[in-house]
Amino acid sequence: MKSYNSISHWNKGPFGQSTIAFDKIDGSNLRFEWGKKRGFYKFGTRNVMITEKDENFGDAIPLFLNTHADELDRIFRKKYSNIDSVVVFGEYYGENSFSGQHVKTDQKKIIIFDISLYKKGIISPKEFVDNFGHISIPNIVYRGEYNMEFVNRVRNNEFKLSEGVVCKGTQKTKGNEIVWMVKIKTNEWLIKVREKLGAKALADELNGDKYLIEQV
153-196: pLDDT as tens digits: 999 999 999 999 999 999 988 778 899 999 999 999 999 999 99
Number of domains in the chain: 2
Q: Is residue 2 part of a domain?
A: no
Q: Which domain holds residue 62?
A: 26-137
C-alpha 17/C-alpha 147 separation (Å) is 8
Q: Is residue 115 part of a domain?
A: yes
User: Are 46 and 128 in a shared domain?
Assistant: yes
User: Are 133 and 42 in a shared domain?
Assistant: yes
CATH number for the domain that contains residue 108 = 3.30.470.30
* Domain end point (choices 83, 113, 137): 137
User: Are 118 and 50 in a shared domain?
Assistant: yes
User: Are 119 and 154 in a shared domain?
Assistant: no
By the 8 A CB rule, do 108 and 59 touch?
Answer: yes
Q: Is residue 1 part of a domain?
A: no
80-101: pLDDT as tens digits: 999 999 999 999 999 999 999 9
Q: What is the CA radius of gyration of the chain?
A: 17
